[in-house]
Amino acid sequence: MSGELDHDGPLSRNDVSGPVEGSLVQANSIAGGVHVYTGSRSRGVPQQLPSAPKLFTGRARELTDLTAALDSGNRPSGTVVISAIGGSGGIGKTWLALHWAHQNKDRFADGQLYVNLRGFGASGKPMCPTVAIRGFLDAFGVGPAATPVDPDAQAALYRSLVAGKRMLIVLDNARDSDHVIPLLPGSSSCTVLVTSRNQLTSLVTAHDAFRLDLNVLDKADGRKLLARYVDNVRISAEPDAMAEILGYCAGLPLALRIVAARVSAQPEFPLTVFADELRDCSARLDALSAGDAQANLRTVLSCSYRYLNAEAAAVFGLLGLAPGPDISLAAVVSLTDLPALRARAVLRDLELAYLVTQHLPGRYRMHDLVRLYASEQSTRDTPAEARSAALRRLVDFYRHTAYLGERALYPIRKSLNVEKPSRGCVPSRLDSETCALAWFDAEHACLLAAQHLAARQRWHKCVWELAWALSSFHRRRGHLHDDVAVWRAGLDAAYQMIDPPACGWAHRFLAHACTRAGMQRDAYDHLRHANSLTDRIDKGIDHSSAPAEPDGVQQAYGHPPCGPSWDDGQALAEISHGLRVYRERLHDPVLEADALNAMGFLQTRLGRPHEARTSCESALALFRRHHDAVGEAAALDSLGYLAQHTGQHTVAVVYFHQALALRRDVGDSFGEADTLGRLGKAYAALGLRADARKFWRQALDQFHTQHRPTEAERIRQELAALHALARHRR
């Protein structure tokens, strides 16, 4: 070291040979090392990582991705490697970061720095970056006397100390990007690992960070994590309880570790005790506590909730109350009574905080345990009247949009007199059959959940109308048991409303639903109840409670269904009775066509082909005149069935192919499966075994998908017989 000092006397020159540590020494010539005591520690290699998590489980893909980010050769020259691990509270961000850091310690010869920034701590006070920098300087042995007063100068000194060094810097639990940026080194030789409950978008856009979002553990890894704590003998002894516990924890690592800690602490308790505690939704979060703040799921989630602004907190709470596995943006608009743009912005804030996930474009979901916490906050912070109004807007959204979807699927049917939606409810427009089917497919689980919610709230008319609006979709897509369930709820709602006509229609819908689900005895009972109620209304009995056609419900499937275990003659008589009602009283040609087609089907089975042809052709003409493609396909299928029974298999093939094309065009999966089965049988009768096998296999796949075991077994027997015949002929 050399320098010149100009005092009022002659110029002095300082010459120092050897290392200098501490303050500048002013002298003439000094040989040897100069050491000035300043109170600082001797400098060593920082080793600040906390201990590695001993029971770390899974995350193989994420560990590989972190290593790949470090090894990537595509980064701009001079850019520091930054990996940002994001996810909700309790998802295991810190465990992943520390596990990877310890696995890769040998790659950082100059040491590791670690700081918990407390961005989402129980105290609610994030650590200031300047405090973190002071800690890093201390790790390098920079004492108070050598530490600049100015924070910017401290940051500059920190960057100077890590420049050119192979170091790992772990910034755990950051609040946001601004919390992290002052701590970033300027040297590309360093690697930075950040964890946060915020998506740290600025780190990605401005600093080329690699973002790694953590999801829940899959069932296999969740089971492995519990098995690290719990004796295998206990697990093997109670597999059902173990499966329940895994289900209630829903793959959240913190929840699994809390349960595991409690199970380990009470080895004499059977696992069913803990499964029973978790089974009760209202007490599940209470059960997910092991005593301290870091092992209490409710406390951990509260650290995220407290940082939400008032609007986001309110929306978060309402989302916790919403029924169904997920929710669309359009449904959120009605739930929250917010404009679409504002609702989207609030959802984005919740996404950034990892409290909701947009798993599909425009569709959002919460982890099950986060949903429970959100529901608790809404119950605590939102008045009961406001919660009820929000849920009614949401149910009305599903009910009115489903009604519009039903109208798009069957525009020729008379309209249902649905009451106006609640103020703030904004139903979606479904202008085409294609849009309606796509909406029903996406919202099906939510619609079922909305009906359950309406039943719990005793909104009986909503329950009945949701059942009605779902029936056509269920029929097309083959949701057999769902159709039975919604109409059982609809029937109960109709009786609660003391509405005999609505009860009659519900019984009639249930008769159809039970027939398609293979519940023939139940179907016949509901049919008898429906006709009895219709007769009572016709005779003036029960008129006082409701109009004969409740709110214009003439568009139900009017003809009685027919099943293989029924007495065909009696069923035909019931259908003839219904046909007169539709012609003379309701004047509904679609219901008339349905009844005629059912009559033709039964007349075929009864060996009355001429009457069957007249009935089926009359039905076909009516369906075509009123542009009912679903009904047209059903009539063509019935004509094919008639041709098949009269030995005209080539004619049957033609009819079945026409019916199949229509059913596929309109998305009638249920009818498609039936037609495929009959088409296979027609080809088999013609000796075209390859064609028969092809269509039977397609039918078998459809029956499996639709959970129709009886039909599936029949097709398996047909295929087995075809295979045996082929072997015999060889």
The pLDDT of residue 76 is 58
- The DSSP secondary structure of 106-126, one letter per residue, reads GG-TT-EEEEE--TT-TTS-P
**DSSP-derived 3-state class of residue 50:** coil
- Single out the residue of 205, 215, 165, 214 nearest to residue 82, CA to CA: 205
Confidence of residue 664 (pLDDT cuts 50, 70, 90): very high
Confidence of residue 27 (pLDDT cuts 50, 70, 90): low
State the Cα angle at 252 between 250 and 253, rounded to 5°.
135
- Type and span of the H or E element at 521: helix 520-538
The pLDDT of residue 589 is 84
Could you read off the pLDDT of 426-460 as tens digits, one per residue?
999 998 999 999 999 999 999 999 999 999 999 99
Question: What's the rounded Cα separation, in Å, for the pair 432 and 429?
Answer: 9
Confidence of residue 584 (pLDDT cuts 50, 70, 90): confident
- Type and span of the H or E element at 352: helix 340-352
Most confident listed range (22-36, 174-188, 402-416, 587-601): 174-188
User: For 178-246, what is the HEC assignment?
Assistant: HHHHHHCCCCCCCEEEEEECCCCHHHHHHHCCEEEECCCCCHHHHHHHHHHHCCHHHHHHCHHHHHHHH
Question: What's the rounded Cα separation, in Å, for the pair 356 and 88?
Answer: 9
- The DSSP secondary structure of 144-155, one letter per residue, reads GGGS-SSHHHHH
Could you read off the pLDDT of 131-169 as tens digits, one per residue?
999 999 999 999 888 889 899 999 999 999 999 999 999
User: Is pLDDT above 70 for 34?
Assistant: no
Q: Token digits for 612?
A: 């069957």
**Minimum mean pLDDT range among 39-48, 100-109, 423-432, 518-527:** 39-48
User: Is pLDDT above 50 for 555?
Assistant: no
Question: What's the rounded Cα separation, in Å, for the pair 672 and 373?
Answer: 44
DSSP β-bridge partners for residue 327:
364
**DSSP-derived 3-state class of residue 176:** coil
User: Is pLDDT above 80 for 124?
Assistant: no
User: Is pLDDT above 50 for 529?
Assistant: yes
User: Is pLDDT above 80 for 248?
Assistant: yes
**DSSP-derived 3-state class of residue 37:** coil
Confidence of residue 556 (pLDDT cuts 50, 70, 90): very low
Residue partners of 130: CB distance under 8 A and separation at least 6:
151, 154, 155, 182
Question: What's the rounded Cα separation, in Å, for the pair 77 and 123?
Answer: 40
Average pLDDT on 647-666 reads 95
Asked if 180 and 203 touch (Cβ cutoff 8 Å), the reply is: yes
CA distances from 145 to 40, 46, 149 (A): 8, 20, 9
CA distances from 570 to 412, 516, 527, 573, 645 (A): 30, 19, 12, 5, 21
Question: What's the rounded Cα separation, in Å, for the pair 121 and 182?
Answer: 20
Q: Which residue has the tokens 């040979």?
A: 17
| Average pLDDT for the chain | 87
The pLDDT of residue 145 is 86
Question: What's the rounded Cα separation, in Å, for the pair 187 and 486?
Answer: 64
State the Cα angle at 247 between 231 and 55, rounded to 5°.
40
Q: Which residue has the tokens 């940002």?
A: 84
Asked if 323 and 453 touch (Cβ cutoff 8 Å), the reply is: yes
